[in-house]
Amino acid sequence: MTIVGDKVGIGTDNADERLTVYGNIHARGVKVDLAGPLRIMYSYQITNLHH
């Protein structure tokens, strides 16, 4: 993990956003805030999502 200014990189030394992760993420929940600008970098189809 690297911290440069207000940017955190996990699995990378070159964070280009406030949080940049290079690797797999395991999350129990994900919150998406659409109030700000939306920037889609990658698109994945989620086939099994439980609430």
Per-residue pLDDT tens over the stretch 1-51 = 999 999 999 999 999 999 999 998 888 887 777 776 666 666 556 666 665
Residue 40 is predicted with a pLDDT of 61
- What phi and psi values does residue 12 have, to the nearest 5 degrees? -150, 150
Rounded to whole angstroms, how far apart are CA atoms 29 and 26? 9
- pTM beyond 0.85: the answer is no
State residue 15's pLDDT score.
92
Q: What is the DSSP letter of 47?
A: -
Amino acid 18: pLDDT: 92
Per-residue confidence (pLDDT) for residue 50, from 0 to 100 = 63
Sheet strands (E) in 1-51: 2-4, 7-10, 19-21
